[in-house]
Each structure stands twice: as C-alpha cells, then as structure tokens.
Structure 1
C-alpha cells in the first residue's frame, strides 16, 4: 500500500509545478517543474533551462516502487529496493532545493526564496510513504522469522 502511495506521489511530482517565485516588480518570474526551470528577466526575454534528469530520476523511483510491489515474496529484496528509492528521492530533493534556493532564487529579489508548490510536497509525501513501507516490510520479516522459530 505504501509503495503504491510512493508511485502515485511521484506521478504527482511529475505532473505539477514544484516551485514559483514572483518578483516584487511584477516583471521577474521564475518557476520549476520536474522537466524545466523557466525564468523571465524582462517582459519579452525568457530563459528555459531543462532539468530532465530530475524527471528521469522520478520515473526511476516510480519504476522501482512498482517493481518492489511485485516482489512481496522476497521481503529482503523489497527492503533493499526501498533503500534505493530513499537514496534516489534524497538526491531529487537535494537537486530541487539546490536549483531553487541557491541557483534561481538569487536571480532577482535575493531576500525572497519563492514558494514550494504541490509537486514538491508530493515528493515529501513519497519519501514518508517509502520510510513507512520499509518499516512495515522489516516488521513483517521479523514476524516471519519469529514464527519459524516457534515451530
């Protein structure tokens, strides 16, 4: 169940915007999705920086989560796949924070950092669901080992 939540939340991460910042002058604007980072310097000049690697890692997380769902007979493999997903999602989170907070936020209005949107919070939900999935997988494995001892 939790691994399905991970896959759905990462789908939301891909579909919705992650971050947005509007300048105090109303002209400057920056936003980020899982696929691109756009910033408007003037009313006619817009820069687009592709960040396809973020989307690629998110798709990889979805694939690993779905694969782990079907490995229910091998709980140790499921636990290892959850660990891989944790690492991938941490890298995604660090990349998004770096791109928004350190790179793009300093283009204009350095005092204001912008707002994280629903896509970013979907990543946080996916990370929490992955931790919960790993915890329950380990608890099931412990329960199976204890029941084998009683026989």
Structure 2
C-alpha cells in the first residue's frame, strides 16, 4: 500500500535530490580572496584573479534528477515489491556514482586551486545526497521486510 513507511523514505529521497539540485555542493577559498572554486549540480567554476573558468557538469545534475524521479516512480510500484527493491538498488548505484563524481571534483580536481592542503567546505547539497543514501538504505530495508511479511503470510494459507 502507498501509506507504508518506505513511501515516506522514497519521497524524502526525492526532496533531498531537489535540495541537492537547488543548493551548492562544495566551495573552496584560495590563498587570495580573489581565488575561489565552487561546485553546484550544474557547474564547476573557479576564479583566479578577475578570470572565471566554468566547466559544465550537467551529467551530475542529470544523475541527481534521475535519482529523484526513480524514487518517485518506486513509490507507485507498491504492488510489486521486487520492482521497488530493484529500483532502490538502481538508486544506490546512481547515488554512489554521484558521490564519486563529487569527491573526484572536490578532492582531486580542487587541489590545484588555492592551498593544496585545504580540501574546501562541503555545503548543503552534499549533505542532502548523504541523507538520500541513508534514506535509500532505510527504504530498501522496509521494502524487504514487507516482502518477507507477505511471503510468511502466504505460507500460512
């Protein structure tokens, strides 16, 4: 049924992905006040002096949007819990890919700006993705628990 606890978790995943799309993920201030690197879901920008360089990371925004859409779709697959479990697994893979992209962009590509020892600050969007990872694990756990309950009750009939 749609009023199960995993529905709340799946909906909160979609909300967290909206937060991740709307808020910055990471920033780093360089040695001089004019040096700054910034990562959002759509672009990776860095400023050195008066020059600003912008790299598009549209694939990151696409993955974030896909996670939100898949979790919303999984809500309405409540009659087929195996499909819901598979969709949660897909979400887990995409969330892992998102975290990998973000960590690569911040820890490796971000080292060349400013102080190499400073890794920068992770912001609201990054933490929303971490919350989505936890919520996805919880949703998957409750979906599997419901499936186990249904299989156990069918065995009694």
Deviations 1:38-59 (A, max 9, x none): 10011x1000001000000111
Counterpart mapping for 1:99-114 below 5 A: 99-114=105-120
- Distance in 2, matches of 1:83 and 1:111, equals 35
Counterpart mapping for 1:60-75 below 5 A: 60-75=66-81
Q: 1:18: which partner in 2?
A: 25
Residue of structure 2 aligned with 1:27, choices 34, 38, 43: 34
- Distance in 2, matches of 1:105 and 1:46, equals 17
- Distance in 2, matches of 1:106 and 1:46, equals 15
Counterpart mapping for 1:117-128 below 5 A: 117-128=123-134
- 2:45–2:53 contact (8 Å) kept in structure 1: yes
Q: 2:12: which partner in 1?
A: 5
Deviation at 1:105, TM superposition (A): 2.7
Matched, 1:141 2:147: yes
Deviation at 1:114, TM superposition (A): 0.2
The CA RMSD measured in Å over matched residues stands at: 0.7
- Distance in 2, matches of 1:36 and 1:112, equals 21
Deviation at 1:108, TM superposition (A): 2.1
- Distance in 1, matches of 2:21 and 2:118, equals 25
Provide the TM-score with structure 1 as the length reference.
Answer: 0.97
Q: Gapped runs of 5+ residues in structure 2?
A: 1-7
- 1:35–1:52 contact (8 Å) kept in structure 2: yes
Provide the TM-score with structure 2 as the length reference.
Answer: 0.94
SS state at 2:46 partner? strand
- Distance in 2, matches of 1:103 and 1:137, equals 38
Q: Gapped runs of 5+ residues in structure 1?
A: none
Displacement over 4 Å in runs of 4+: none
SS state at 2:112 partner? coil
